[in-house]
Structures are given as structure tokens and as C-alpha cells.
Structure 1
């Protein structure tokens, strides 16, 4: 069931009505309803993998209790490593087994030994990377005595499987989400309206911006493309289209997830903060997929020593973080190279300790940036565009071929793919995002400053654009991760 589908447009109002008008007497009744709705939502993808989600939930729930009740450190460690091992084991089998098996076979083939590895013919369970990380953070926090285990199984299950965040995040923490699940929720009309605005903006990002950019990005990046026949300017256009596709797609999903959760009186972690307005790569990674970046910071970077050691320790830890981040995204060398390239980008700021220079919003309190800020934003954006080529390419060879033909004399020629209507849409989208960059999302609070007629006109324009530019339902990119 996609957020941008008719089925979800039917599912959401039904759950909303039952939540506030049938189960409103007790938050426990509401939690039972949310759990059943979440399991139904997940079963719509593939009901067989629902049992994997349930097993992971039961494992981490009982592991948390066993660790808390353990009388010895050894016993506590046993339950901790059991949970870590099983969770990562499932993730490794479903997501990485074929990659390692084929990479091993390719390595032996280069040495003159031919083998035919046994591979799994199974689809990747949707959302497995996200709900696995929910469980891992919960178990780790209990192990280090940061939180107490949740003893109500329904409440914990809702934390893991809450349907707005189940398949593509944000990656929540027990310290943030569980307290909200365990308290009474009262309907707030203004909060619900704000949630609907964010859902509308997320749908616009996905259907109008991402899906339309995807048509041209796919046309240029497709498997049969001979990049030598394409001008450098056309290849640049394809990379830029993909850059806006992945942002509109993933941040659009996050907006819909956050807005939907707000309809039920729950606030999820902010996942995007206008990353393409960043002035350096360090700022970009503070603003892109925030829940994953902070997860790696808290559960990997800091335990490795963080920034407390010397320069070598900081450099080593940064490379490890980006290597793991790339590998988290998928079982392909392209993602690993993408991660390492971003590590190289950020390295000067790590070495010279300038990675926290830009903690504010660019041109805060002003309509226009300074020349220096503008140059920094454009440079950071272009570096990001280059890195996304590796993320989008099918393999390393195609990525390097794409880049080699991009940087040619034809880079400054007129591109053969130049859809003016989509380009105008992207420019308008960037303007709205720029005007709203100091808020949680672009439309937050902005319409309330306008007269009612203008406010509703804006809503109708967005809705009309969604129906006019929308086509077939397209999955969200991050479902594959």
C-alpha cells in the first residue's frame, strides 16, 4: 500500500475515524487499533513477511526484559549479543547474502577459479533495514542502561511497527516515540490541519517533482543507454533530475509520514531540513536523512571514539561511518563508492575541524544569501549531484562511464533532453523550499500569513498539480533499502 495510492486514501480516513471516534476512551485501545492497522498496512505488501516483522518484535521485546532482569553481566551480554546477532543475521541473509556470494565468486574468477555460488531467489522484505534499526537502538539503549525495557507488548509493538514510519522511516528512538505511545492523546484540530498540510506538500514532492523528474532521469540512466552518444549537458541534466527525484521522493515520503503521524497525535523525528541549501558537505549530512545520520553517530561513531581522539581517529571513524552508511543503502559496490566519496568530500572539514561551522540556516532572516553563501551552496550542490551518479548507476563501470562522458567538451552544449514544464516546476519548488527553509517543512506556517482566499488557492493549485502531473503509482525509492 503506497502513500500515493487510492487504497491508502481509503485506509487512512477509516483508521483516523476509528482512532478518534471509536477507540478514543483509552490510549490502550488506540494502541491496539494502531497495531492492527500497522500489521494490515504491512501485510498489503506481502503477508508472508509480516511474520518476520512479528518475530523481530518478539525477539527484541523479550531480549530487553531478559537483559533488565539478568543477575550477572555475562547473562546480560548473552541476551544482548543474541538479539544483535539474530537481527543482523536476518538483515545479512535477506539483503547481503547474494552480494557477498557473487562478490566472492567474482574474486575467485579473477584468480582463474570458476564457481557458481548458490544464491537466494527471494525479494527483500520491505522496510527491514528500518525496523531492524528500531529494534537495535532499543536493545542497545537497554544494555547501556539508558532506558528501562517496555513491559507492555502492545506498546512496544506499536513503537516498532507504527505504519507511517514502518517501511521507510524515519528511524525512531524509544526515548522519543515510546513516551508518546504510552500517554493519552487528545485530538487537536490545528495539529491535524498542520498534518494535512504536510501530507499535501509531501504528495506534491513525490508525485509532481520526484515522479516527473524520474521519467527523464530514467531515460538518461537506463540500462541500454550508450553514454557516448549523449552530450555532457544531457548527462548533467539527467544527474540533476535524479538529484531532485531522490530528494522529492524520500523527503516527500517523510513529510507524508510525519503529517500522518500528527493526525494521530504523535510527533515523529524530523528527517530532512532542506539539505540542498547546505554550505558544505558536513551541513548536508546534518540535514539529509537526519534519523539515519544521528543513528550512526550515536550507535557507531561515538562508541568508536567519535571526535575525542587525534586526527587519525576522527578520519578513521568518519570513513567507517560513511562506508557503513553506503553499505546500509544496498548490496552494490556503487553504494559503497558513494559512501566513500562523501567521506572524501567531508574530510577537509574533519581534518581542519570546520565541520560544525554552519549550524544555523543559510541566509537566516534574509531573502537572499551573500555571494559567499551562494557560491558555497552551489558548490556543495554540484558535489552532491556528482555523488548521486554512483548512487543511481547500475554498476561501477556505468558510473565511471557516465562521469567520463559528462566531463566532455559537449558539457556546454544544449542538452537533447530539456523538458521546460518540469524545469519550471523544479524552479518553483526550489523557490517555495527556499522561502520556507527556516521552518520544519516548506508550508509550515507560511499559508497562515496569507488571506484565506490565497491560502485555499494555494491548496487547490497543489491538488490540481498532483492530479494533472500524476500518472501511474510509483513506489518510493527507499522501499528497496
Structure 2
């Protein structure tokens, strides 16, 4: 079920009414309702994959209990390994098996052996990369002693399948989200209305910005050889805002929806295109995944505690693994490696944690130095995004080669209407960059607030492009 669909428009208020008016007196019934509707929400795509998420939930629930009931570290480690192998096994089969099989066959052929690639005819389950990482963090935290295992199977299954963030995050930590299923929840009007504002802003970013950009991006990237350099450059910029509007829009809708039901999810995007260097960008982009890799991969590998070689090695590991997490394609690996190269100079000069504050805090505009920093960072991300969007590495290189040709100075040959929506997005988020989302302004006078709501709703209804699936559903 898509957030930007008629089905969800009916689904959400229906669940809200049942949740607060019929099940509000009993916490267990509320959790049971959330579990049921979350399975309905997920099964709307393909009911067969419900068995997958149910099995994953049961394995991690049982592994958590098994880790806790023994003092033998070897046994604890065995149960942790079981959890990790099951979750990574699902990813390996559904997401990466065909990739490795084809690469093995091509390598063997290059060495002179006749090998046919064996591939599986399977569909990638929606959101599998998100909920497997979420459940793995649970068993790892139980193993580390950071969290007591859940003995409430309904609450645990509801935590894994919680529908607002099930298929595209944020990737919640059990230490934050799971305890919220144990506590009695009371309706909070202010929290709910702010959630609705965040949902509205997320829908604008998805339906108006991302989906309008997608029309141009798909047209150009699928036929890049037919366009001049300026057109390719504009399309690359459009893709940068397409993926931002699409993914951060989903996160806004997810976080806002969760607030309607009394839950607090972590912020997943913090206005990343206002970053002054790549390190800051990665602290503000897909925060739940970046911090997941930091806490469960980078730090266990040694983080930055060792010498220069360890820092460099761990940085490349974390970025390449992050790239591969996005998909079984060399383009994502190159995208991750490219970001590692961007990050490396900052790391080696100990400049990777310079910009921890909000850019130009308390100021209306930006100093020239800040403009150059943000512009340079944005330019670097655009180059990387070309690899992320291209069908393969060769096409990405050809795209960039033609983009930087003499025709870069020529007139673009595409509809530039999305630039208006992008400009509106950037202006709003610049003034709201110290907030959690673009429409967090509850202290504004009521008539002004409602004028903004009506205006944005009008943009959605008038300029909203044909409904498209969210980009990150494929990951």
C-alpha cells in the first residue's frame, strides 16, 4: 500500500478511529490492532511475503530470549550468529544471489571456463533491507546487554512490522521504538496536529517535487545519448531532488503517521543539501542507516581508534557496504566508493566533525564562504548520484563525459517546470532548517498556518504528477 494512494487515504483514518476510539482502553488490544493492520498494509503488495516477516520476527524474538537466559558467552554468541545468518540469509537469497551468480559466471568465462549462471526467479520483498536491519539491531543490543529481551510477543511482532516505517524506514533501534509498545499511550493533540503537518509536507515533497522531477529524469537518463550537456546537467540536478523529495518525503509521512498513534520515530533527514562538506551531508542524509552502520559495523571494526590505515580501511568498508546495501549492482558500489573518496581528505585532516551545528544559525542568508562550501558539496553529491541512477557504470561514465562536453553551455532541451517546485522546497526548508520538518511552525497565527496548508494542498492537487512508487521500495 502506497502512502500516496487512495487506499491509504481510506486506511489511515479508519485505523486511527479504531485505535483511539475502540481500542484505547487496553494497551494489548492497541498493539494487536497495530500488528494486524501492519500485516494488512504489508500484505497489500504480496500476501506471500507475510510469512517471511513473521518468520524473521519469530527467529529474532526467540534468539533474544535465548541470549538472555544463559551466562555462557559462547552460547550467547551462537544465538546471535543464528539471528544474523537468518536475516542476512534472506537478503542474500532475495537480493544478492543472482548478482553473485552472474558475476561468478562472467569471471569463469573470462578465465576460459564455460559456466552458465544459475539465477533464482524471485521477487524482491518490499522493505526487506529495512526490517532485517531493524531486527538485527535488536538481537545485537540484547547480546551487548543494552536491552532486555521482549517477552511480549505481540508487542515485539508489532515493533518489527510497525506499518508507518516498515517498508522504507527510518530503520528504528529497538532501544528507542520497542519500549514505546510497552507504555500506555494517550492521545496528544499537539503531537497529532504536528504529525499531520509533517505528512502534508512529505506528500508535497513526494507528489509535487519528486514525481515531477521523475518524469524528466526517466526521460533523459533512458535516452541520455540524445541530449546535450546542459540537459544532462539539469536532469542530474532533478534526480538529486527527486531522490531527496521521494525518500525524505516518505520519512516525513512515516514519522508524522507514527505521531498520530502516539509514537516518536527518529529524524531521518536533516536538510542534507545545506551541508558544508560530505561528512556533514552523511550526518544529515538517511540518518537511521548511517548511524546503524556506524554503531554495528564501523565501531566494531575499530572505528577511528587505530592508525591512519585502519581509519582509511574502515571508511571504505562502511561506504562500500552502504552502497551495496542499496542494491546488487556495481553502480551502487562505485557510488559508495566515490563517497568514501570524498570523505577521505576530511578524515585524514581530522576535519570530518567540524560542521556539527545548523548552517548559518540565526542568520537570514549565507556568507560567501558558506555558499561555496554548500555548492561544492552539492556538486560532489550530484556526480555520485549519476552513478546511483544509471543502469550500469559504463552508462554513468558516458553520461558524465557528455555532460561535461562543450554542449554544457547550450540551451537545455527539457521542461524546466520542476525548478519552480525545487525553489519553493529549498526556500521553505532554508527558513525551517533548525526544525524537524518544513512545516513545523505551530506558533504562527492560525489564519497564516491555514493559508500555508491550503496553498500546499492546492499545489499537490493541481501539480501533483501521476502517482509513482517510492524509490527506496526497491532496496
TM-score with structure 2 setting the length: 0.99
Counterparts of 2:25 and 2:310, CA distance in 1 = 54
Residue of 316, 323, 327 corresponding to 2:320: 323
Q: Which runs of 5+ in 1 are unaligned?
A: none
Query: How far did residue 71 of structure 1 move?
Result: 4.2
RMSD: 1.0
Which position in structure 2 is the counterpart of 1:385?
Answer: 382
Contact persistence 2:207–2:464 (CA under 8 A): yes
Show CA shifts across 1:251-298 (max 9, x none).
000000000000001000110000000000000000000000000000
Which deviates more from structure 2 when the two are superposed, residues 197-206 or residues 173-182? 173-182
Which position in structure 1 is the counterpart of 2:48?
Answer: 48
Which deviates more from structure 2 when the two are superposed, residues 398-407 or residues 74-83? 74-83
Which position in structure 1 is the counterpart of 2:440?
Answer: 444
Show CA shifts across 1:188-237 (max 9, x none).
11111100000000000000000000000111001xx252x321111101
Which position in structure 1 is the counterpart of 2:338?
Answer: 341
Which position in structure 2 is the counterpart of 1:454?
Answer: 448
Counterparts of 1:273 and 1:155, CA distance in 2 = 30
Query: How far did residue 472 of structure 1 move?
Result: 2.8
Which position in structure 2 is the counterpart of 1:310?
Answer: 307
Residue of 287, 290, 296 corresponding to 1:290: 287
Instruction: Establish whether residue 135 from structure 1 lines up as the match of residue 132 from structure 2.
Output: no
Instruction: Establish whether residue 372 from structure 1 lines up as the match of residue 369 from structure 2.
Output: yes
Q: How many residues align?
A: 475
Query: How far did residue 34 of structure 1 move?
Result: 0.5
Contact persistence 2:330–2:393 (CA under 8 A): yes
Counterparts of 1:72 and 1:376, CA distance in 2 = 52
Which position in structure 1 is the counterpart of 2:470?
Answer: 476
Instruction: Establish whether residue 431 from structure 1 lines up as the match of residue 432 from structure 2.
Output: no
Matches within 5 A, 1:201-212: 201-212=201-212
Query: How far did residue 413 of structure 1 move?
Result: 1.4
SS at match of 1:164: helix
Counterparts of 2:74 and 2:192, CA distance in 1 = 48
Which position in structure 2 is the counterpart of 1:405?
Answer: 402
Counterparts of 1:110 and 1:281, CA distance in 2 = 38
Query: How far did residue 70 of structure 1 move?
Result: 2.0
Which deviates more from structure 2 when the two are superposed, residues 152-161 or residues 1-10? 152-161
Matches within 5 A, 1:150-161: 150-161=150-161
Query: How far did residue 331 of structure 1 move?
Result: 0.2
Show CA shifts across 1:69-98 (max 9, x none).
124222222211111111111110100000
SS at match of 1:45: coil
SS at match of 1:124: coil
Counterparts of 2:146 and 2:419, CA distance in 1 = 48
SS at match of 1:283: helix
Counterparts of 2:462 and 2:163, CA distance in 1 = 28
Residue of 292, 297, 300 corresponding to 1:300: 297
Show CA shifts across 1:139-183 (max 9, x none).
111111111101100111111110001000000011101111110
Counterparts of 2:341 and 2:393, CA distance in 1 = 17
Instruction: Establish whether residue 6 from structure 1 lines up as the match of residue 16 from structure 2.
Output: no
Residue of 453, 461, 464 corresponding to 1:467: 461
Contact persistence 2:208–2:465 (CA under 8 A): no
Matches within 5 A, 1:29-428: 29-222=29-222, 225-227=223-225, 229-419=226-416, 421-428=417-424
Counterparts of 1:189 and 1:69, CA distance in 2 = 41
Counterparts of 1:196 and 1:75, CA distance in 2 = 47
SS at match of 2:163: coil
Counterparts of 1:354 and 1:266, CA distance in 2 = 36
Show CA shifts across 1:104-139 (max 9, x none).
111122223332211011110001101100111001
